Structure 1
Amino acid sequence: MSDINPVLAYVDTHIDEALGRLLDLLRIKSISTDPAFAKDCAACAEWHARDLQSIGFEASARKTPGHPIVVGHDRSAPGYSVLFYGHYDVQPVDPLELWTHDPFEPVVETRSDGTKIIRGRGASDDKGQLMTFVEACRAFKAVHGKLPIPVSVLLEGEEESGGASLPMFLAANAAELKADIGLICDTSMWDPRTPAITTMLRGLCGEEVFITGPDRDLHSGFYGSAAANPNHVLARILADLRDADGRIAIPGFYDGVPELPPVLRRQWEALNFDASAFLGAVGLSIPAGEKGRSALEMVWSRPTCEINGMGGGYQGEGFKTVIPSKASAKISFRLVFDQDPHVVRKAFRAFVKERVPADCTVEFKEHGSGKAIRFDIGAPAFEKTRRALTEEWGAEAAYVGGGGSIPVNHELKSALGMDVILAGFALEDDRIHSPNEKYDLRSFHKGIRSWVRVLDALSR
């Protein structure tokens, strides 16, 4: 297709309709981690299947042991083929009291500078992002009656809860899903004006640990100091995870973690990342973590160990003087380069077991894993995408690292043997996984236009 201007014009004149569809999607409570919302997740999958069918895709919601996976194909055009991945599930909304409105009744707000944002759970992660691609396909079909290249769509319903069903699904459907390259829109811009392609992401290892002491909660006046307190035991173990310099103290944890290559370090330094502003935006000012490391280095190329949740004893209103029978914590490790999540998990469990008193017991629960991944940007598709993004945004698109984990990258690479281009339009202040999540209307609008340009560029 030699002229994409009519397609871009269609996007501009139909943006309100696209926004309406996104708002409808955001009203579906597709929280994958909570079994109470299983029907909502199924409904969300069916919504996507019907939407893809409405623009000519052969699409369906496929059953899995967990939540459904949506698959759609439109391969009527010849040429370079793509598989677009997104996820329709969202994070839980708690603490609910911190939301300014119902998280599943999305609203469009106008800020003091006149710009507009879409507020609601999933607005940025990942419903708003994935719909930028679907809307680009819709625009092509409306204007030209066809897509410029063969397109397949894969929408997962368990990304926010470990993605347990995806590896088996990919293995069983590899021949159907394989394409020349994967496309994912679940990442961020470098800044509000500069688009970015993420070329490396950290892996993930999630663990939950349970310490049990006495066989019931005890009166702290009768048993205090004499009885082991699981809260104390767990607190000591968690405190031991890092040393005084911020390094993670688990033996062998840094195996497979090299120093950052000088060339890459210079590229990142040229981005002029403002660490003070980065922390200041969330009400902090003092860098934590490993001493001697820059903030950008720590969030892109260094592994982490973070305590994501803790519980034990009475936590209701008022005060109750008990020694709890149980205490628990949720811990996540972000992994880099060649770290093996299974090796890290085994080392963590050994570290904990060594510190549990003889008359206490410990149990563990696994919460997903994935290896870090890097992509070779020498493939022509990467440069074509970078140029397309540059043309749309009027600023040179940057190749960047990413601090988050998108396990599907490794799964697509290993199961389907293809690289993935990660180009997203989220912003640092989108508050993903937090109350009052939002997505800039400009990100949504120009994200659609960006995918129009990318699909056209990949057809050449």
Structure 2
Amino acid sequence: MIETIKTYLEEQRDQHIEELMQFLRIPSISAVAEHQPDMKRCAEWTADSLRKAGLENIEIMPTGGHPVVYADWLHAEGKPTVLIYGHYDVQPADPMELWDTPPFEPVIRDGKLYARGSTDDKGQLLLYVKVVEAFLRTQGTLPVNVKFCIEGEEEIASKNLPPFVEKYQDKLQADAVVLSDTQMHGPGKPALMYGLRGLAGFEITIDGANSDLHSGLFGGAVQNPIHALTKLLSSFHDADGRVAVEGFYDRVIELSDKEREAFKQVEPDENKVRTNLNVDTLYGEKGFSFYEQTTSRPTLEITSVSGGFQGEGIKPIIPNRASAKIACRLVAAQIPDEIMNAVEAHIHAQDLPGVKVTLDRQLRGNPFITPIDEPVMVAAAEAYEDTYGSWPVYTRSGGSIPIVEVLGRVLDAPVVLLGFGLPGENLHAPNEHFHLINWEKGTETISRFWLNLAARNEKA
């Protein structure tokens, strides 16, 4: 069957790439109000492409912002259901002068398709639509049931999607969630990203006297909020780079031996990292490699500090306020509010006389992880290997994609990040592009993945 699917996709390749270019010509920039008509047009184009592929129950569903496009095909009786997540919005194209060709006039050069959204995420999203088309045109059926949930606000933090997923939980229910909005490890080197860090962001404010004070008249007798702040900030870590907040590590799931071995395949050369950053030495929690520190360990980073006179010269005062912003990157199974509770308790345990300390909680995002031996992950890895001739490496990201965790948690389903982008494709930057070799390889991998899922279900 896979050869029939591949043949169809090869025969239709030029037509499919032309359709992708139509998709890319729509400047669906969710962050800019003047592109609201383009967002509507892009949602309609997306819905129409799903309809043409043979999907059913297509809806453009309203949210508090840009709509979600839904579609499904649910006739594979007794087979698993896969929810495909993607987004039709794109980043702004500025600065325009740095593009070699206009960002919304797609062109192909050297086997690469250049346009805003080509790799993030229109190119990778359309792979799934064309695999549906290939199966239905050649087989009249799909090996699995599929649902599509395609949003228009990923590039502006998906603020309306979590309540949408909660509201339509039954409609979206699936045995696995799959998205292709990530990268491979390199050309011909597939990767399965199985973990993302979460986020807890807050601001600490320290207030002293009711106004700035003359340092000559009051210095040495009134607490300086900046002094109190620096004392507090220095208490957050011990001498070994470990976070010194009681309870901070309580929920951390330690790496298995299998994971640590897998990490050795993707760990960067730490000497090169140090050289590239132009620092004498790297610094962090002892006992862990650079890659482990930046992907599988939680952190507490002071991202900014402010207080006192910031203009030219010196103004000899005792400022009445100082503040700092903190970003904690979290790992499974840490909970943002629990971490902020622990930080707040740590603050109140410090001896900071003469000032008032407040903590303003601002950002929350839960971490995400799918075990690498989860059956759907194994099915995806086998599909990668059969297509690329190489078993994928397993990676974690130091960053956060909160909606991935929301989908997995609310739907109680494993999430597979099946990426086909490549490093250096300039997503979010001028001259964004997508290597078309991964169009062919991507559709084949997805096809094999669905067949693997169906076969595993029969064996079970």
TM-score bracket relative to the smaller structure = 0.7 to 0.9
* CA pair 279-51 structure 1, distance change in 2 beyond 3 A: farther
Within the candidate set 129, 137, 144, 1:134 is matched to: 129
Partner Cα distance (1:242, 1:395) in 2: 41
Q: 1:37 to 1:24 in 2, by over 3 A?
A: closer
| 1:5 corresponds to | 6
Q: CA deviation at 1:343?
A: 0.6
Q: Are 2:286 and 1:291 aligned?
A: yes
CA gap of 1:240–1:310, structure 2 versus 1, over 3 A, is same
Structure 2 unmatched ranges of 5 or more:
456-460
Deviation of 1:72 after TM superposition, in Å, equals 1.5
Supply the distance in 2 between the matched residues of 1:391 and 1:331 (Cα, whole angstroms). Answer: 44
Q: Deviations over 1:343-363 (max 9, x none)?
A: 112223444565887556645
The farther-off stretch of 148-157 and 328-337 is 328-337
SS in 1 for 2:437: helix
Partners of 2:43 and 2:322 lie apart in 1 by 36
1:389 aligns to what?
384
* 1: CA distance, partners of 2:100 / 2:322: 32
The answer to whether structure 1 residue 301 and structure 2 residue 304 are counterparts is no
Rg larger for:
2
CA contact (8 A) 1:108 1:117 kept: yes
Shift of 1:20: 0.4
Quickly say closer, same or farther: Cα 1:219–1:97, change in 2 above 3 A. Answer: farther
Pairwise CA distance, 1:194: 1.3
For residues 251-400 of structure 1, the aligned pairs below 5 Å read: 251-269=246-264, 271=265, 273-276=267-270, 279=273, 283=277, 286-307=281-302, 331-351=326-346, 358=354, 362=358, 364-375=360-371, 377-379=373-375, 381-400=376-395
Change (3 A) 1:312 1:432: farther
Structure 1 residues 14 and 273: alpha-carbon distance in aligned structure 2, compared to 1, 3 A threshold? farther
State the match for 1:149 in structure 2. Answer: 144
The alignment partner of 1:413 has SS state of: helix
Distance in 2 (alpha carbons) for counterparts of 1:218 and 1:103: 54
Amino acid corresponding to residue 338 of structure 1 in structure 2: A
1:202 aligned residue: 196
SS at match of 1:153: strand
Residue 4 of structure 1: SS of its match in structure 2?
helix
**C-alpha distance in structure 2 between counterparts of 1:169 and 1:180, whole Å:** 19
Structure 2 residue 243 is matched with structure 1 residue 245: no
Query: Which secondary structure does the structure 1 equivalent of 2:377 belong to?
Result: helix
Report the Cα distance in structure 2 between the residues aligned to 1:45 and 1:223, rounded to whole angstroms: 65
Which consecutive unaligned segments of at least 5 residues does structure 1 have? Answer: none
Distance 1:16 1:371, change over 3 A: closer
Say which SS state the counterpart of residue 205 (structure 1) adopts: strand
Q: Residues 210 and 173 (structure 1 numbering): CA distance in 2 closer, same or farther, change over 3 Å?
A: same
Which residue of 1 is the match for residue 458 of structure 2? none
Identity over the aligned pairs, expressed in percent?
Answer: 31
Judging changes above 3 Å, is the alpha-carbon distance between structure 1 residues 319 and 399 closer, same or farther for their aligned structure 2 residues?
same
Cα distance in 1, alignment partners of residues 353 and 434 from structure 2: 48
Change (3 A) 1:448 1:287: farther
| Residues 19-68 of structure 1, C-alpha deviations (whole Å, 9 max, x = no match) | 4034225x22123xx88877765655444334323433332232234543
CA RMSD in angstroms, aligned pairs only = 4.4
SS in 1 for 2:25: helix
Aligned partner letter, 1:61:
I
Aligned AA for 1:458? L
Supply the distance in 2 between the matched residues of 1:439 and 1:356 (Cα, whole angstroms). Answer: 54
Q: Equivalents in 1 of 2:39, 2:288: separation in Å?
A: 41
Which one is further off, 305-314 or 441-450?
A: 305-314
- Identify the residue that residue 21 of structure 2 maps to in structure 1: 20
Partners in 2 of 1:274 and 1:254 — Cα distance? 25
CA distance in structure 1 between the partners assigned to 2:19 and 2:224 by the alignment: 55
TM-score (norm 2): 0.77
- Trace 1:69-218 onto structure 2 (pairs within 5 A): 69-78=68-77, 79-89=79-89, 100-101=98-99, 105-106=103-104, 114=110, 116=112, 118=114, 120=116, 122-141=117-136, 147-159=142-154, 163-199=158-194, 201-209=195-203, 211=205
Q: For residues 134-193 of structure 1, give each alpha carbon's deviation from its aligned partner in whole angstroms, at most 9, with x where no partner exists.
A: 333344455556544321011234445554443433333222222232212133213322
Aligned in 2, Cα 1:174/1:347: closer, same or farther, shift over 3 Å? same
Amino acid at match of 1:48: T
- For residues 85-123 of structure 1, the C-alpha deviation after alignment (integer angstroms, 9 at most, x for no partner) is 123455677xx5698239982566888xx4536353x44
Give the aligned length: 447
Distance 1:325 1:97 in 2: 40
